[in-house]
Structure 1
Amino acid sequence: MSGPVLVIELAEAVPRAAIQRLRDLLVRSSARFEEKRVGEYDLNIHAESLGISETEGVDGRRPVLVSVMGPGIGDESIFEAEHADKVDQEPLIGFTPTHAVNVAAFCNRPVDHVVTALLTAAVMDAIGGVVNAELRGDQVPMVASLPGVNATTTGPWPAAYGSAEFLRAWAQQPGFRLLR
């Protein structure tokens, strides 16, 4: 994937009712919707459905993959690999993640960074969780002052943990860009 990625950390498996809310949200927001398995969706998101009107002259349909992962849902080995070298997250977010949702854009234009952040916030509204956003070192002071931030780390891999409110506030900052 060549675009930005955000991870929503979850304290437990996503209940079927929440999976259905997630699916409904993605169907409503998408020009193209493919369910690869329960909890994994290959999409073309309508940027306008997220309130994004400026798409830099590119097609407003942005390719994104949303994938719920962890024991009992799928991509367990990816979940384990992504969490193997993470710092102990319990002191930062109040729990040790058992599941996660990756929101990954397939393009890397500025609009794709905003789409990724706002789509992740909408997914969090549907299923809960805490976003884990990797940062550049120089982003930490600015991000730490935003509403909805639970915690930040500085190194060796700077990150911010926060709510949907945090993502929406960050996406409005001048020059907003996700690390990856």
Structure 2
Amino acid sequence: MLVIELAETVPVAVIERLRELLGTLSARFEEKRVGEYDLLIRTESFGIADVDEVDGHRPFLVSLMGPGIGDESIFRAEHPDEDDQKALIGFAPTHAVDVIALANEPIDHITTALLTVAIMEVTGGIANAELAQGQRAIVDGLPGLIATKRTDWPTLPAAYGSAEFIKAWSRQSGFRLLT
């Protein structure tokens, strides 16, 4: 899972462009509510050959959340440290987009990263990724890294970065998101 932190309410026109993008990338596109999508992403859309699946489709949930759009309680639960985030990334998030792979193969990690980049090109924002032990050394110095910080788990940091950061990180040998 990756989270895209957003500084403001997402305009209707941006939601429409997000819907178009996800529809283009998906073999199955189900809008559960405005801003929440159950998807089968075509891995070939990102130039990835899916050796695990015959059909080349991976299940995902993409959820835009925050006041006025939905999943407000989840947004509040995921964002108890808004002041900390403002100091790190320059704004206190008002909304977010969760990009959630519903499988855990290596291809799902890469697809999550590239899907997040594509979504960020529509919505803007800053990616927020929890890091596994030892990954901080891998991400330090990558282009587009904005900040790192410790999370509630003392040994697990989080990284904040641009779409460029997510792309650069996903190209690192052994790339894997925290599961």
Whether 2:152 is the aligned partner of 1:153: answer no
| 1:14-163 mapped onto 2 (5 Å cutoff) | 14-53=10-49, 55-59=50-54, 60-84=56-80, 88-155=84-151, 156=154, 157-163=156-162
How many residues are matched? 175
Which segment is superposed worse, 151-160 or 9-18?
Answer: 151-160
Deviation at 1:57, TM superposition (A): 3.0
Partner of 2:84, secondary structure, is coil
CA distance in 1, matches of 2:82, 2:157: 11
Deviation at 1:131, TM superposition (A): 0.4
Deviation at 1:143, TM superposition (A): 0.3
CA distance in 2, matches of 1:105, 1:70: 20
CA distance in 1, matches of 2:69, 2:46: 27
TM-score normalized with structure 1 length: 0.93
RMSD: 1.3
Deviation at 1:124, TM superposition (A): 0.3
Partner of 1:36, secondary structure, is strand
CA distance in 1, matches of 2:143, 2:63: 26
Query: Does the 8 Å CA contact 2:83/2:92 hold for their aligned counterparts?
Result: no
TM-score normalized with structure 2 length: 0.93
Which segment is superposed worse, 79-88 or 166-175?
Answer: 79-88
CA distance in 2, matches of 1:39, 1:11: 16
In the alignment, which residue of structure 2 is the partner of 1:7? 3
Q: Which amino acid aligns with 1:128?
A: G
Q: Which amino acid aligns with 1:160?
A: A
Deviation at 1:154, TM superposition (A): 3.9
1:94-152 deviation line (CA, Å, top 9, x unaligned): 00011100000100000000011100010000110000000023110210111111011
Unpaired runs of at least 5, structure 2: none
Query: Does the 8 Å CA contact 1:140/1:154 hold for their aligned counterparts?
Result: no
Query: Does the 8 Å CA contact 1:144/1:160 hold for their aligned counterparts?
Result: no
